[in-house]
């Protein structure tokens, strides 16, 4: 289950991978490009890469070419990436519902 600390770490990881410096002012982007869409795209790409890496490690372990520790580590990384994507999705849905409840 995701707690506040793991959510904060996941958020920081997404910011770091998107090139956003947490020390800068809100909304300022440290890298080229930026924006919410780019952050989502990066998070999804990272989750897909982690999942494919975990699948490859599982197949290699079944074939006897990988250690069990490597498989468990890859699966844990894929699970963390998926939890990050789900946390972002939940926050986007919550924000949308809050906007829909606003009076015009």
The percentage of residues in the chain with a pLDDT greater than 70, rounded to a whole number, is 72
Residue 4 lies in a domain: no
Residue 27 lies in a domain: no
Residue 11 lies in a domain: no
Q: Give residue 5's pLDDT.
A: 66
Residue 8 lies in a domain: no
Looking at 37-46, 79-88, 95-104, which range is the least confident one? 37-46
Q: Give residue 27's pLDDT.
A: 47
Q: Give residue 30's pLDDT.
A: 47
Q: Find, among 37, 52, 42, 48, the residue nearest to 13 by Cα.
A: 42
DSSP conformation letters of 8-64: HHHHHHHHHHTT--TTSPTT--SSSS-SHHHHHHHHHHHHHHHHHHHHHHHHHHHTT
Its pTM stands at 0.62
Residue 47 lies in a domain: yes
Q: How far, in Å, are 12, 18, 35, 45 from residue 32 at the CA level?
A: 18, 9, 10, 18
Query: At 34, phi and psi to the nearest 5?
Result: 130, 180
State the residue range of the domain holding 57. 33-104
Residue 49 lies in a domain: yes
- Of 94 and 11, the structure prediction assigns the larger pLDDT to 94
Residue 41 lies in a domain: yes
Ramachandran area for residue 86 (φ above 0: left; ψ -120 to 50: alpha; else beta): alpha
Residue 13 lies in a domain: no
Q: Give residue 7's pLDDT.
A: 64
The average confidence (pLDDT) of the chain is 81
Q: For 18-68, what is each residue's pLDDT tens digit?
A: 666 555 444 444 445 568 788 888 888 999 999 999 999 999 999 999 999
Number of domains in the chain: 1
């Amino acid at each position: 289950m995701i707690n506040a600390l793991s959510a904060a770490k996941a958020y920081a990881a997404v910011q770091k991978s998107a090139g956003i410096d947490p020390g800068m002012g809100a909304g300022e982007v440290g890298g080229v490009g930026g924006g919410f869409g780019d952050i989502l795209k990066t998070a999804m790409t990272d989750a897909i890469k982690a999942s494919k890496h975990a699948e490859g490690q599982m197949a290699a372990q079944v074939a006897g070419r990988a250690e069990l520790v490597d498989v468990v580590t890859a699966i844990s990384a894929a699970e963390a990436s998926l939890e990050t994507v789900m946390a972002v999705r939940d926050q986007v849905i919550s924000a949308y519902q809050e906007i829909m409840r606003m009076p015009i």
